[in-house]
Every structure is written in C-alpha cells, then in structure tokens.
Amino acid sequence: MKVPALLLLFIAGTLGQSCVGRCGVNDGVSGCQCNSVCSNYGDCCSDYEAVCFSCKDRCGEGYVYSKPCQCNNECGSHGNCCSDYDVECGGGTGGGVTDTDLRNLMEELYSLDVNSVGNQLVLDHQGQGSSGDLAPESLFVSVPESALTGPTISLLRQLQDNYIPSVSFAEDEDAAEVAEQEAFLDAVMATQVMQRAETFLTEKNLLSGSLRDKLKEIWFMMYTRSGSILGSSGFEHVFVGELKNGVVSGFHNWVSFYQEELDGNLNYMGWSKTVDLGDKGEIIMDHFEWLGEPKSIGSMMVGTSPELDMAMFTVCFLARPDSKCPTQMNGHQFQVQTWTLNYNGHVLVGSAYPDI
C-alpha cells in the first residue's frame, strides 16, 4: 500500500526527524529541534526554515512564543506574522508586511519630505571612534535660522523645552504645553510624509482609527520609568532626551542635540558610523556627555524633519515592535530598533532609534 507523502512527513515529525507538527517545540530528546533558539545551538531539523517560517498548514494556530513567526489573526498587530501569512491565510490582519514593503515605503517617505534641512547644516565630525573625547569642537558648526523656522521644526523646538531631564521627577503638563502638543500634531499630520504613512498603516491593517490619535497616544502619553513617578514619555525619551541612573537615556534628535550643544550643556565626543541621506542630511552614530552624564552609544538622524523621523519610528513600532525594522533611504539600507512599553493597558513607545 502506498503511504501518502503528508502522512510520511507527520510520522517523521512524531519521530523527531522533521518539524512538521513540531514548530516551537524543544523536547530535549529528539535528534533535532524546531524552536526559535535551535539555530543558536545548531540542532534545527533540516526542514526547520521551510516548515516553521511558513504559514502553510498553520493558519489559525494558537500563539506560541517559541515559534519563529506566527499565523493567527493577532500576528499583524504584533508584527510577528510569517512572511507568507497573506498568501496562505488570506491576510486581512496586517500580515504580509514584508521587508521590501517597509524599505519601499521609507524611500517614499524620504522623497516626500520637504521640511528636511540637511543641505543647510555644516557639521564637523572630527575624530572617529567609540570611546574617549575625540572631538575638541562642537558637532554643529553652522545652523542658519532658516533651518529652524520651518513649519514643523519650529513647533518641535517649542515642545522640547517642556521637559525635566531626570526621569525621577514628575512632568507637569500645563494647558499651554498641551496646546503646543496639539499644534505639533496638527502640523506633522498636514504633511505628505505623515499622510502617506497613515495610508500604508491603514492598508496593512496596522492602524484602526486616525494616525493622529495613535501618535498622541504612543508618543505623548506619560508613563513611569522610576517607581510610580510619571516622568517620561516616548516623545521626551526619543526627541528630547532623559537622565536615568547616571547615564543619558534616549536622546535621538538632532534639533535637541544642537540646542543643548549651543547652550553649553552637551559635549560631543566623536562619531563611529554615518549614513549619507543626500541633501536631506545624514545618520550619525556617536558618543557624548549631556549635563555631565555619558551617552556611550547614540544615534540620530541629522537634518531630517520631525515628521520623517516620527513617521519612520511609528511605522516600525507598529510593524516590527521590539525588533530591528528594515529601512532604506537615499539607496542606503539600515535598521530601526523600537521598544514597546506597556502602561495601564496601553502599548507605548519605550524607545526608537536608527541602528547603523
């Protein structure tokens, strides 16, 4: 009697020789394994990638953290669908946001950005290295007033002086500061960059409702990084900077960097890597001291508009949370790392930064 091929595969799986029916399993007994860490130990079954990185015959299965990717109707909102989820399972829940989709979108956002001012800035990178003070002079040599008065950068600057650096002190948002937040959100949402990001997120079922509401929630809702003190937010951490436990935390925005350097509060100490973004600016990985505390490894987009930064971070936060998000601008590929922070039932931005 001829035994069906699928049955043979199932039998192989039960004998521990195949990953069919075993994705996410590490029984410690079988000769090969099928979980997300098997590649670290070199004991994956030969069909691990073909079976466990695909949704074929897995649609609707329950979530198991040790599976390398998921095939259920929640995977889109968590950014962990297998790449063929749309094809195999019918899509419709945010699955199938491929690396190519993300890179193509980021290039489009880059091309749509009209408020970047990289071509107006003059920088002095000085010494290259990852430690020690390799830069006796400031990073920013020349920043003309015209670079700071655009429709979104000017409103970003109004927001940046609203925060207390230490996460151990509660932030007190008054009506004027809330009004500045609202004006900033209105301005970035009026740009083609953010409107295109909203369309993409909606089409990929990563966003329900308005992007403006989502931005206000994930970036500006206050939370705690120190006991019960409401002394932090995603916006403050990324676009301003914070101090925690004797080190600089966050601080991934060039406008804040420039202002603190101008005020004598920041000592730029050198760079280790850069990515050329053409006339929009660049990405720099650097190290510095702020208010006397160290930042041993930092990174920021320099010259770009706040809407481009925030759109890029937000898309990656929703599509690839807590992981490296494939990105491309000006023909150069890099990654964006995002981290989530759960507070009172909300999933908020813990951090987001370019990883080059």
Element (H, E) at 187: helix 175-189
CB atoms within 10 A of CB 162: 18
* 287 among known catalytic residues: no
Q: Which of 204, 244, 252, 287 is catalytic?
A: 252
CA 216 – CA 328 distance, rounded (Å): 26
Which residues lie closer than 8 Å to 161 by C-beta, 6 or more apart? none
End-to-end CA distance of the chain: 58
Write b or e for each residue in 216-234: b if 16 or more Cβ atoms lie within 10 A of its Cβ, otherwise e.
Answer: eebbbbbbebbeebbbbbb
Backbone angles phi, psi at 156, to 5 degrees: -60, -45
* 252 among known catalytic residues: yes
* 332 among known catalytic residues: no
92, amino acid identity: G
Element (H, E) at 283: strand 282-290
CA 127 – CA 270 distance, rounded (Å): 5
Per the CB < 8 A criterion, the answer to whether 304 and 277 are in contact is yes
Backbone angles phi, psi at 223, to 5 degrees: -150, 180
Tokens of 191: 């740009």
Per the CB < 8 A criterion, the answer to whether 76 and 90 are in contact is no
Q: Phi-psi bin for 250: left (phi > 0), alpha (psi -120 to 50), beta?
A: left
CA 276 – CA 329 distance, rounded (Å): 9
Which residues lie closer than 8 Å to 73 by C-beta, 6 or more apart? 60, 93
Q: Which of 204, 237, 244, 287 is catalytic?
A: 237
Strands 324-329 and 242-244: unpaired
Question: Which residues form the catalytic set?
Answer: 237, 252, 295
